[in-house]
Amino acid sequence: MAQPLTYLLDTNVWLERLLDQDRADEVRQLLETVPSDRLLITDFSFHSIGLILLRLERSEALLSFARDLFTDNSVRLLALEPDDMERLITVASDYRLDFDDAYQYVAAERNGVPLVSFDGDFDDTELGRLTPREAIARQEDQE
């Protein structure tokens, strides 16, 4: 039997659903298809989402999001260590990524998992990315 697939979801994937944007249903389907213990979020994404939701005066949405991920489900939180900054800077320079994209890239790389994102900046990297729809297809192929 194949090893179960685990995915790192980029900030924009979570926000798509939280802010009920155009592709929110695609993200909803992903979250319903992939077990929560196979989903990862970086601390950077989590804190960025917190900043955005508080700026939008949606503190209840932030509390609900935190409970949903970590209390009611078992989404895992990833963090880079200070020693990872050298790799982050190299990735940012090599692929012309900004800090947040390089952070996601290095977290996915360090943990050997695919990165799920709507951001095309990852398309020209060695790691690449999956859209939520592509991750759903991979998950269904494995089952």
| Ranges of the chain whose pLDDT falls below 70 | 1-3, 143
Q: How far is 141 from 123, CA to CA, in rounded Å?
A: 22
- Residue 54: per-residue pLDDT: 97
- For residue 134, being part of any structural domain is answered with yes
CB 142 within 8 A of CB 5: yes
Residue 1, pLDDT score: 47
Task: Check if the beta carbon of residue 78 is closer than 8 Å to that of residue 42.
Answer: yes
Number of domains the chain contains: 1
What's this model's pTM, rounded to 2 decimal places? 0.94
Closest CA relative to residue 94, chosen from 116, 129, 126: 126
76: which 2 tokens?
């895992």
Q: Which domain range does residue 84 map to?
A: 7-138
Sheet of 7-9: strands edge to edge?
A: 76-78, 39-42, 7-9, 115-116
Q: List the Cα angle 75/14/135 in 5-degree steps.
A: 75
- Residue 2 belongs to some domain of the structure: no
Instruction: Indicate which CATH number applies to the domain containing 80.
Output: 3.40.50.1010
Token pair recorded at residue 87: 């790799």
